Amino acid sequence: MRSTQIRSTFLDFFTSRGHRQVPSSPLIPSDPTLLLANAGMNQFKPYFLGEVTPEFTRATSVQKCARTSDIANVGRTNRHATFFEMLGNFSFGDYFKADAIAYAWELCTQGYGLEKDRLWITVYEDDDEAEQLWRKIGVPASRIQRLGMEENYWSMGVPGPCGPSSEINYDRGPAFGREGGPAADSERYMEIWNLVFMQNQRGEGPAKKDYPILGELPQKSIDTGLGLDRLAAILQGVENVCTTDLLLPTLKTVQELAGREYPGGGEEKVSFQVVAEHSRSIAFLIADGVLPAKDGRGYVLRRLMRRAIRHACLLGIDGPVLSTTTASVITNLGEVWPELADHSSLVERVVTAEEKSFTRTLTQGSRLLDAAITHTRSAGSASIAGETAFELHDTYGFPVELTIEAARDAGLTVDEDRFVALLTEQQQRAKARGKSRTAEALRRQDAYRELSARHGSTDFVGYDRLQTEATVV
Ligand code: ATP
Ligand code: MG
Ligand code: MG
Ligand code: MG
């Protein structure tokens, strides 16, 4: 089944059951606590919290999601991408557990024709009701597993609605891992669909696991997320999310640029997937208005671009790559996601500029990195100096995560504390410099004001210029 049909089957199923079809929200969320959209429920957070009452009580969507937290998994697991599409159905105080479970089961087994015997269910450890509902639908107890907070209690990663969840996992067979259900092997028993029974609210805390559960939501709701990329891998009989029709054309473009076949030998398979997969995230992020920057979302984008460029280099691709690979993403997905086609020239300009500035230093930086790895090893140490990571960051534009990753591949670590200390020192110096430059700009602004008051109104451009200067500082 092609991905277009997987999407339409999902949306048709739920619209014909009274769900309003809502477009994806942009990757830049309106929620200030969230860096990038990471789930279909994000845009409905105020509905779940009872802050806003929607005109409808049931919704369905295909949401663009970005999860940088999965970046290191790309190419290493079959199931993780940094950008993916999440198919979802939602109930705002309308139906709850029983219907959510019945809908999901019907769609999986009848709509998508997944074999019942291959489906394994997980439920939150205390959720007897969910287990009973699955049993009633015909899932044998031997294929239902109970898992704890970490796996089966969903929250956004920021304060907001949350609740116990129940997940549908697909057994890909012994070629993908060991037996024992999703609790034993999450690659063989790939999680495809998460049903969240939204009933509580989480407050703030230092780390996700410390967020306190504050109490009940005003009403019980449903939030579900089915990974399009994962379901496509299953229904198209391919190994991983990068070889589905969502990404295969881009993977082929990478093959052509590299002049060799996927998967290649050794680590090349990972590099092929990284370049193709990151190219899609890059295109979607830029099309939604993210531009490369030193921090925040812009840093996520920069990190993805630089990582993709480095992996292209590891494949022996000489010369620019991202403009070609992102163009392939746009050709392949631009019809379903028109924002890609609408912003194709912006995507091209941004990736070309970034690639130009990074490739200038990539070779020298890689040489320094390789030398540091050799040096660290021969000195009998397991950790690359923080100074080296800082120089790679500061002089060669290597995001520190890239250095850490290369070190890890070589069996080493990076002295991250030292790196952070050096970075903080540098930032403090820059801040101090910035302050004195702002003060100087304001002094000059006063002087211009005085001048203009003395000479009356003229075509005076000083304020604009000074203002620009002041913001750049
Ligand atoms: P996993 O445990 O495999 O990392 P998850 O529990 O983090 O997945 P959820 O937060 O429950 O995932 O998201 C709902 C669904 O979105 C998942 O069941 C899966 O189908 C899909 N999904 C999640 N993360 C990714 C990803 N990085 N790439 C592709 N699809 C994903
Ligand atoms: Mg995950
Ligand atoms: Mg999971
Ligand atoms: Mg999950």
Between CA 81 and CA 79 the distance in angstroms is 7
Q: What does the chain come to in residues?
A: 473
Mutate which of 166, 191, 243 for ligand 1? The one with the most ligand atoms within 8 Å of its CB, which is: 191
CA distances from 420 to 72, 362, 390 (A): 21, 22, 8
Q: What is the pLDDT of residues 127-172, one digit of tens each?
A: 999 999 999 999 999 999 999 999 999 987 778 899 999 999 999 9
- Flag the least confident range among 163-172, 373-382, 447-456: 447-456
Using the predicted structure, report yes or no on whether residue 456 has a pLDDT greater than 50: no
Q: Is residue 466 very low, low, confident or very high in pLDDT (cuts 50, 70, 90)?
A: very low
| 313-316 CB contacts, 8 Å cutoff, 24+ apart | 313/362, 313/366, 314/267, 314/268, 314/271, 315/254, 315/257, 315/258, 315/260, 315/264, 315/268, 315/271, 315/272, 315/275, 316/258, 316/259, 316/260
pLDDT top residue among 452 and 444: 444
In this prediction, residues 184-196 reach a mean pLDDT of 98
Nearest Cα residue to atom 21 of ligand 1: 227
Structure tokens at 343: 């912003």
* Binding site membership of 83 for ligand 1 (Cβ less than 6 Å): no
CA 151 to ligand 4 center in whole angstroms: 6
* Binding site membership of 193 for ligand 1 (Cβ less than 6 Å): yes
Q: Is residue 213 very low, low, confident or very high in pLDDT (cuts 50, 70, 90)?
A: confident
* Binding site membership of 67 for ligand 1 (Cβ less than 6 Å): yes
Q: Is residue 208 very low, low, confident or very high in pLDDT (cuts 50, 70, 90)?
A: low
Between CA 195 and CA 185 the distance in angstroms is 20
Nearest Cα residue to atom 14 of ligand 1: 225
| For the CA of 191, the nearest atom of ligand 1 | 18
* Binding site membership of 278 for ligand 1 (Cβ less than 6 Å): no
Mutate which of 76, 80, 114, 120 for ligand 1? The one with the most ligand atoms within 8 Å of its CB, which is: 80
Amino acid at site 339 = E
Task: Give the contacts of 165 (CB within 8 A, at least 6 positions apart).
Answer: 124, 152, 153, 154, 194, 195, 196, 197
Spatial contact of 38 and 194, defined as CB atoms under 8 Å apart: no
Structure tokens at 258: 């590299």
In this prediction, residue 202 carries a pLDDT of 86
In this prediction, residue 457 carries a pLDDT of 35
A 10 A CB-CB count for 173 gives 10
Amino acid at site 385 = A
CA 168 to ligand 4 center in whole angstroms: 9
DSSP 327: H
Q: Is residue 468 very low, low, confident or very high in pLDDT (cuts 50, 70, 90)?
A: very low
* Binding site membership of 223 for ligand 1 (Cβ less than 6 Å): no
* Binding site membership of 191 for ligand 1 (Cβ less than 6 Å): yes
Structure tokens at 83: 């950008």
Between CA 34 and CA 159 the distance in angstroms is 10
Distance between alpha carbon 412 and the CA centroid of its chain, in Å? 26
Angle between helices 322-333 and 296-314 (to 10 degrees): 110
- Flag the least confident range among 76-80, 278-282, 436-440: 436-440
* Binding site membership of 94 for ligand 1 (Cβ less than 6 Å): no
Nearest Cα residue to atom 11 of ligand 1: 194
Percentage of the chain exceeding pLDDT 70? 91
Indicate the SS3 state at residue 73.
helix
* Binding site membership of 230 for ligand 1 (Cβ less than 6 Å): yes
Q: What is the pLDDT of residues 314-365, one digit of tens each?
A: 999 988 999 999 999 999 999 999 999 999 999 999 999 999 999 989 989 9
Task: Give the contacts of 289 (CB within 8 A, at least 6 positions apart).
Answer: 26, 28
Between CA 357 and CA 353 the distance in angstroms is 6
* Binding site membership of 84 for ligand 1 (Cβ less than 6 Å): yes
* Binding site membership of 189 for ligand 1 (Cβ less than 6 Å): no
CA 195 to ligand 2 center in whole angstroms: 14
In this prediction, residue 441 carries a pLDDT of 61
DSSP 77: B
In this prediction, residue 440 carries a pLDDT of 64
Q: What is the pLDDT of residues 231-273, one digit of tens each?
A: 999 999 999 999 999 999 999 999 999 999 999 999 999 999 9
DSSP per residue, 444-471: HHHHHHHHHHHH-S----HHHHHHHHHH
Q: Is residue 446 very low, low, confident or very high in pLDDT (cuts 50, 70, 90)?
A: low
Between CA 70 and CA 383 the distance in angstroms is 24
In this prediction, residue 419 carries a pLDDT of 97
| For the CA of 81, the nearest atom of ligand 1 | 28
A 10 A CB-CB count for 74 gives 24
Mutate which of 42, 79, 122, 304 for ligand 1? The one with the most ligand atoms within 8 Å of its CB, which is: 79
Spatial contact of 243 and 286, defined as CB atoms under 8 Å apart: no
CA 81 to ligand 3 center in whole angstroms: 14
Nearest Cα residue to atom 8 of ligand 1: 191
- Give the N- to C-terminal CA distance of the chain in Å, as an integer: 53
In this prediction, residue 415 carries a pLDDT of 96
Nearest Cα residue to atom 1 of ligand 1: 191
